[in-house]
Amino acid sequence: MATQVELAVSGVITDAMKEIATREELEPALIRQRIAEGQIVVPLNTRRPCSIVGIGTGLRTKVNASIGTSTDIVDIDAEVRKARAAEAAGADTLMELSVGGDLDKVRREVLAAVSLPVGNVPLYQAFCEAAHRYGDPNKLDEELLFDLIERQCADGISFMAVHCGINLYTIERLERQGYRYGGLVSKGGTSMVAWMQKNKRENPLYARFDRVVEILKKYDVVLSLGNGLRSGAIGDSFDRAMVQELLINCELAEIGRKMGCQMMVEGPGHVPVDEIEANIILEKKMSNNAPYYMLGPIPTDVGAGYDHVVAAIGAASSARYGADLICYITPAEHLALPNEEDVTEGVRVARLGAYIGDTAKYPERTRARDLAMSKARRDMDWEGQFKHALFPDKAREIRDSRAPRDTKVCTMCGDFCANKGSSDLFGHLLAGTCKE
């Protein structure tokens, strides 16, 4: 069965392309062209129907939510609830990143619980199974790894973060620069580096990249090139190890696309706000505009407890400068396993950051909503305000909890409401203007 990119290259406009065009208010032919060129991906899987989401150039910036068990907390029902909470909060995609418990069962129950495209990181389960079977994760054998990737694809995973860009040369860059402020912060990346050093062998995901592509291509799964050496501190942004891995991933993105697989590149990590634009320019130029999946980014290291807010600031800048998919951060980042409330809050603030970025990236397609909200506020039209708000339920909840005597105003200003006063002064000017 042909993949979306193969069909696009052959000139076919699929139903998925048509649906994306309708949602994004673009022409189907443009969507087909950009998929053919590797600038848009559609996370699908031939084994599992899911909601259609387009990620890439010219499209609304999407938001991913991540869930998953840990070795300390294994509660499958809780993960299912978090998955549903992410979908209800408006996440566009979901990543299932469990490392504790029955990993096949967790993945399958999450897949059954939501309609979102679901991604994962196969190295997590691979090293967990090697530790269970052999007592040592560094005894992971290549066939177990590739068999596991296929098993996960067969279950219905729609996109897969695979750490193909870590190789012996990349690790040499890390060693020569004298390590890092933030160390290594990718679980999969750290485990693969340990495996390579212990076995004195090349990363099989890099050495046998063609096999990775063929497995994912079989199910039309998007190959998201993971960044296992991403910066975990703003002081490590743009260090040689990170840039080297990004360069390799951008090369692999082009190779994989030519092989007929949908490809996406992952980005850091912790990045100072003044370096976000340069990071995105670098990825876009080196990959011929492959979709860029930003993990955060987090533009300061000192926001623990409020890292979801920090990441929303990074998300706004990232969306503004061309990032295509933002991975949310929750209030529990760096502190604990997120709960349902953390997931909901993380999705919402990430959506807000992405929306702010899109108002700069696509002003002609986004600012009408802001103008409509402004007029509703000016006119003290509360139902109109709820209608145009990104989070109407939260807005209504807050207003109802502190209701005013005069229902035209709110309890912030009461009788001194500026909009009420200015309406009395200038309301007659609205007739006959374009600002009615």
Hey, what domains does the chain have and what are their CATH numbers?
Answer: 4-361 (3.20.20.540), 364-429 (no CATH)
pLDDT digits (tens, 9 = 90+) for 107-164: 999 999 999 999 999 999 999 999 999 999 999 999 999 999 999 999 999 999 999 9
pLDDT digits (tens, 9 = 90+) for 23-78: 999 999 999 999 999 999 999 999 999 999 999 999 999 999 999 999 999 999 99
pTM passes above 0.85: yes
| Helical (H) or strand (E) element with 191 | helix 187-199
Can you give the pLDDT at residue 73?
A: 98
pLDDT digits (tens, 9 = 90+) for 229-278: 999 999 999 999 999 999 999 999 999 999 999 999 999 999 999 999 99
The 3-state secondary structure of 325-367, one letter per residue: EEECCCCCCCCCCCCHHHHHHHHHHHHHHHHHHHHHHCHHHHH
Per DSSP bridges, beta strands 40-41 and 55-56 are antiparallel
Contact between residue 327 and residue 95 where contact means Cβ atoms under 8 Å apart: yes
CA dist., res. 323 & res. 325, Å (int):
6
275 HSE (CA, 13 A, CB side): 19
pLDDT digits (tens, 9 = 90+) for 326-342: 999 999 999 999 999 99
Can you give the pLDDT at residue 272?
A: 98
Q: DSSP string covering 105-140, please?
A: HHHHHHHHH--S-EEE-HHHHHHHHHHHHHS-GGG-
Can you give the pLDDT at residue 435?
A: 57
pLDDT digits (tens, 9 = 90+) for 197-213: 999 999 999 999 999 99
**If you search the block for the tokens 């031939």, which residue do you land on?**
46
